[in-house]
Structure 1
Amino acid sequence: MSQRTLYKKLVDSHTVARLDEQHVLLYADLHIMNEYTSPQAFSSLREKNRRVLRPQQQLAVVSHIIPTHPVSVANRVIVDPPSALQASNLKRNCRDFDIKLFDTNHEEQGIEHIIAPEHGWIRPGMVVLCGDSHTTTYGALGALGFGVGTSEVEHILATQTLVYRLAQDMHIKVDGALPMGTSVKDLILLIIARIGAQGARGFAVEFSGSTIATLSAEARMTLCNMAVEAGARAALIRPDQTTFAYVREKARDMSDADFRQALGDWENLFSDEDAAFDVEHVFSAQEVTPFVTWGTSPDQAIAVSAAIPDPAQAADEQASTTISQALQYMGLSAGDSLLGLPVDRVFIGSCTNGRIEDLRIAAALVDGHKVAPTVRAMVVPGSGAVRRQAEQEGLAKIFIDAGFEWRQPGCSMCLAMNDDVLAPGERCASTTNRNFEGRQGRGGRTHLMSPAMAAAAALSGCISDVRTLEKEHA
């Protein structure tokens, strides 16, 4: 057999049938649903009098539409009528088809891409599908995760399979230690800025190198989560001792014997030494500095100390027009600096940066300081479990004492599908994954950055270099 990449090994091990040169029938170990991508599928199943083939391999979560007001879990209410209908429909569908649901008032409710790993449901070698593009997150644990369309959910529910178009292989290698004051969020923003928002389109990306090997499991999730912003169809990291330790801790239903047996398979999940990739990129961690987006696409990002690009210097007319349009929407001028740019809002959370590690990083900077009086800042944990742990560790108190709003879990201000939205013209320092026009609210202006950079913006009232603030607070 020819040498294979990790991606090809995962696809081959889950291929039920080869349909043609480009397509296979792919088996799914786990399918995750949310409130807005599943209603049509269930309606169609009912019309055809079909059942869900494997209910135990389904998971449903209410996450995008849920309000995050700081009330008790038992008292959470979705007031918006269309959103309430979506949630009630999901509850009915899960009841009728015997599917596990993290509902509005469930103590463990949160964002699907945080809930699933923290409960041990994501394990190396799996194929995981979800009607959400950031399903690439699960590649951090050596699982092939990717988003599916609404029309495909019915097929998955009925057959536990998907007609899948094969991707090409891309390898991104990063070596060296990340400099002080930087994080994996800065690294992925740099990578996206370099290769472009379509740079990995049609590819499954495998990350490797000494930088990746030293990342925690949660930091790897941030990396794989945002790979889709470069167009990647999947993102993967070879499972290693960091992965195995994380899964052993979270997969409480696994006996020691089951874990040892699984480990024998997981240790073989890697790209063969001579496996061929279609495209390869190499980066040095020493290139990484605090990165911030200036425009309306995640690839429109620069080092915080760099000048905003000039349309006149663009490679071609189309690129020039794109830059000009982004600058106009964001209310910025070419050649200006982002440093000192006032922000109205700060948001720390999302499936990209709403884990306990992210909150620890932000709290360490915030501790003993106050949010600037001109800023409304909020922290939204990614799940009920993250929220409890942050409260037990004293992180919540640090945020509250500093003037942050400490809210209930949910997707929140990552996207304008709930009541945590920007007003027109408001500028937000955000730890989320997308800065599209209107993403956080009609007319809202989003600057993507790391949790530490967002915390620095909250304290200073403007976009700041966290390395400077760390020195001042030392």
Structure 2
Amino acid sequence: MFLHERTGAAALKSMAAAGRSVADPARVFAVMDHIVSTRDRSGDATEVPGGSAFITETRAAAETAGITLFDVDDPDQGITHVISPELGIVLPGLTLVAPDSHTCTQGAFGAFAWGIGSSEAEHAMVTGTLRIQRPRTMRITFTGALQPGVTAKDMALFLLTKHGAGGGSGHVVEFAGEAVSALDMEARMTLCNMATEFAAVGAIMAPDTVACDYLAGRRYAPDPLPDWSDLYSDADAQFDTEIVIDANGIAPMVSWGTSPEHSIPIDAIVPHGPGRAHDYVGLTPGDRIEHTPIAAAFLGSCTNARLSDLRAAATILDGKHIAAGVVALAVPGSRAVKRAAEAEGLDKIFTRAGFEWRDSGCSLCFYAGGEGFAPGSRVISSTNRNFEGRQGPGIRTHIASPATVAASAIAGAIADPRKIAG
């Protein structure tokens, strides 16, 4: 189980107040990621009013409970769903929970991973068990191959567009098909990450040699690795729901409204949707989404802030500069990602292009009352949610792939990354 500073202290303090202790401290990890500053974290600094208390209380409670903490200045600090795979904590066949809805990210390794509440976290720590309603099963098969310039993020948004934000409700989704097998592990994590936007209980993929190669040599991974080759669905397995999607027909996607299901191909026009969504975003049916001016670009989050994401954006940004008036941030998903990116010189590409290069954390994936974009700004973002106010008061968020974020920052408007040569 993973805890973070926004909810971890509450679960740990409640447990201690009841006179209970963690059943197996070796299975519980905590990290500072949600409200930690990505600018200057010295002295537990955070832009969130009162946020330092969350950090200090989680630190104290984790020490008392005897669990592993990746603290503010730990070299392995980062976003929960980024560092857990990096360190080999998640493994095929495991059950993994955290009080965070995007825990489903880690199902990419063949683990059953899902988000829980603080009271459930307390129960899980004390007993090592949780009671849940048995979910239904759904298989989503992506056939064929992705076109150049199309990513796992586009696959997820296409699914949401076709089957709705509630399409996976009550189900554990298994992603399958040749287009899924062709993805690297970081792209697989992106696809599973978005399963919670599909209202799924969780997402899962059969572990293969790609997953095993990724985990080999990681700190918490066993050596040698066990044989996980039998962790797959039988050929004649029956699912409650089956969805088949031709990956060849997917284009770069971008959201236009206030839900991830409000997404369209980047060369399409805004469709008719809920009036409130149109009013909030300021786009009307028939408008072209491409060339819509933006004020800011955000590259980060547990969805798209891994090394491959930064590389994809840097390829487009190299030798170019963002448009005048655009504010752009690059926030690595972990300190390990940050170090690797800097070793490749990616940070220099970002800063020369006009991006601000930050430390790791959740940052402006969500607004917690601290740092924010200017009220009413239109932002292109590699995050997972475009809800009203998600990135700040009145902020109009368009979610897309890292490549689309980079291309749009250069153009000063929502732009097709296929049209901007790397």
Above 0.5 in TM-score?
yes
**What CA deviation, in whole Å up to 9, does each residue of 1:20-60 have, x standing for no partner?**
xxxxxxxxxxx000112233322322222111111110000
Cα distance in 1 for residues equivalent to 2:99 and 2:369: 18
Q: TM-score, normalised by structure 1?
A: 0.87
Q: 1:54 to 1:429 in 2, by over 3 A?
A: same
**1:66 and 2:36 are equivalent in the alignment:** yes
C-alpha separation in 2, matches of 1:115 and 1:159:
25
Does 1:297 pair with 2:259? yes
Kindly indicate whether the alpha-carbon contact (under 8 Å) linking 1:64 and 1:418 is maintained by their aligned counterparts in 2. Answer: no
- 2:107: which partner in 1? 139
Identify the residue that residue 65 of structure 2 maps to in structure 1: 97
Would you say the 8 A contact 2:252–2:266 is kept in 1? Answer: yes
Q: Secondary structure at the match of 2:244?
A: strand
**Selected match of 1:240 from 198, 208, 217:** 208
Say whether 1:381 aligns with 2:332. yes
The one-character-per-residue Cα deviations of 1:106-129 (angstroms, maximum 9, x if unpaired) are 222110000110011111000000
Q: Which runs of 5+ in 2 are unaligned?
A: none
Partner amino acid, structure 1, of 2:30: A
Deviation at 1:394, TM superposition (A): 0.7
Q: State the AA in 1 paired with 2:413.
A: C
Write out the 4+ residue segments of structure 1 that deviate beyond 6 Å after TM superposition.
none
Mean Cα deviation higher: 137-146 or 37-46 = 37-46
Which of 221, 226, 230 is equivalent to 2:198? Answer: 230
Equivalent residue for 2:314, pick from 354, 363, 370: 363
User: For residues 219-238 of structure 1, what are the alpha-carbon distances to aligned partners after superposition, in whole Å with 9 as ceiling and x for unaligned?
Assistant: 00000000110111010111
Deviations 1:200-220 (A, max 9, x none): 000000010000011001100
Tell me which residue corresponds to 1:282. 244
In 2: Cα distance, 1:442 partner to 1:163 partner: 37
Point out the more displaced range, 214-223 or 413-422: 413-422
- 2:8 and 2:77 mapped to 1: Cα distance? 18
The answer to whether the 8 A contact 1:66-1:418 is kept is no
Alpha-carbon deviation of 1:65? 0.6
In 2, the alpha carbon distance for the partners of 1:455 and 1:44 equals: 44
What is residue 12 of structure 2 aligned with on the other side? Answer: 42
The residue that corresponds to 2:163 in the other structure is 195
1:4-403 correspondence runs (5 A): 31-69=1-39, 71=40, 77-78=45-46, 80-251=48-219, 254-256=222-224, 259=225, 262-263=226-227, 266-311=228-273, 323-403=274-354
Decide whether the 8 Å contact of 1:65 with 1:418 is kept in 2.
no
Alpha-carbon distance in 2 for matches of 1:434, 1:382: 16
Cross-structure match for 1:314: none
Identity %: 42
Structure 1: 5+ residue stretches without partners: 1-30, 312-322
**Preserved contact between residue 299 and residue 405 of structure 2 (Cα < 8 Å):** yes
Q: Aligned Cα RMSD in Å?
A: 1.3
What letter corresponds to residue 36 of structure 2 in structure 1? I
Looking at secondary structure, tell me which structure has more helix per residue: 1
Distance 1:80 1:336, change over 3 A: closer
- Find the aligned partners of 2:335 and 2:239 in 1 and give their Cα distance: 40
Aligned-residue offset at 1:183: 0.8
Q: Say which SS state the counterpart of residue 350 (structure 1) adopts.
A: coil
1:409 equivalenced with 2:379 (yes/no): no
Matched positions, count: 422
Q: Which residue of 2 aligns with 1:315?
A: none
Contact 1:204 1:233 in 2 (8 A): yes
Contact 1:370/1:403 (CA < 8 Å) preserved in 2? yes
SS at match of 2:410: helix
Report the CA distance between 1:301 and its aligned residue. Answer: 0.2
Residue 341 of structure 1 aligns with an amino acid whose one-letter code is T
The answer to whether the 8 Å contact 1:75/1:105 transfers is no
The residue type paired with residue 108 of structure 1 is D
- C-alpha displacement at 1:290, in angstroms? 0.8
- Which residue of structure 2 aligns with residue 26 of structure 1? none
User: Secondary structure of the equivalent of 1:462?
Assistant: coil
- Deviations along 1:307-329, whole A, 9 cap, x unmatched? 10124xxxxxxxxxxx2110000
Per-residue CA distance 1:227-252 (angstroms, 9 max, x = gap): 11011101011100101100114246
Summarize deviations over 1:82-134 as a string: whole Å, max 9, x none: 21111111001011011111122222211000011001111100000000000
Structure 2 counterpart of 1:457, one-letter code: S
What is the letter of the counterpart of residue 405 of structure 1?
E
> SS at 1:351's partner residue?
coil
Change (3 A) 1:212 1:365: same
User: Deviation of residue 422 (structure 1)?
Assistant: 2.2
1:14 corresponds in structure 2 to: none
